[in-house]
């Protein structure tokens, strides 16, 4: 009888130590797979974020260039307008100066 009990316990112990992974090992593997997937997603999001930040910086530079280009164009236009106004004012004043 003792031998039968020892045999049953031995069989139970051997079946517990079988090559099949336990539920805890399966859960650990699932968690590790989830972690790998999340790390991959994080890397993808970081890459997209860097691309978006780069695009934003480029657009800001373009905007600054356009703004500085517009202000220099405005300055050129204002200078031309001022020159034209001076010519008009100067031509109006010339006859009155000659008349005196």
Provide the pLDDT for residue 38: 98
Which positions ≥6 away from 21 have C-beta within 8 Å? 29
pLDDT digits (tens, 9 = 90+) for 12-68: 777 766 667 788 999 999 999 999 999 999 999 999 999 999 999 999 999 999 999
- The predicted model scores a pTM of 0.47
pLDDT tops 70 at residue 82: no
Provide the pLDDT for residue 85: 59
Provide the pLDDT for residue 3: 83
Position 60 in a domain: yes
Place of tokens 């972690």: 35
Which residue segment(s) compose the domain that 82 sits in?
43-93
Position 7 in a domain: no
Position 35 in a domain: no
Position 99 in a domain: no
Chain centroid to Cα 91, Å, comes to 60
Position 53 in a domain: yes
Q: What is the DSSP letter of 18?
A: S
Position 29 in a domain: no
Task: Report how many domains make up the chain.
Answer: 1
Reference 81, options 73, 70, 93, 92; nearest CA is 73
State how far the Cα of 10 lies from the Cα of 44, in Å rounded to an integer.
Answer: 51
Position 81 in a domain: yes
100 pLDDT band (50/70/90 cuts)?
very low
Q: Is-contact 26 18, C-beta < 8 A?
A: no
State how far the Cα of 5 lies from the Cα of 11, in Å rounded to an integer.
Answer: 10
Position 65 in a domain: yes
């Amino acid at each position: 009888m003792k031998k039968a009990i020892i045999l049953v316990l031995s069989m139970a112990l051997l079946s517990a130590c079988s090559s099949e992974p336990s539920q805890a090992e399966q859960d650990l593997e699932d968690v590790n797979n989830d972690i790998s997937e999340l790390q991959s997603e994080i890397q993808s999001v970081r890459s997209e974020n860097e691309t978006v930040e780069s695009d934003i910086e480029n657009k800001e530079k373009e905007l600054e260039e356009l703004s500085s280009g517009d202000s220099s164009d405005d300055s050129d236009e204002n200078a031309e307008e001022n020159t034209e106004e001076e010519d008009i004012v100067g031509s109006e004043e010339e006859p009155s100066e000659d008349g005196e």
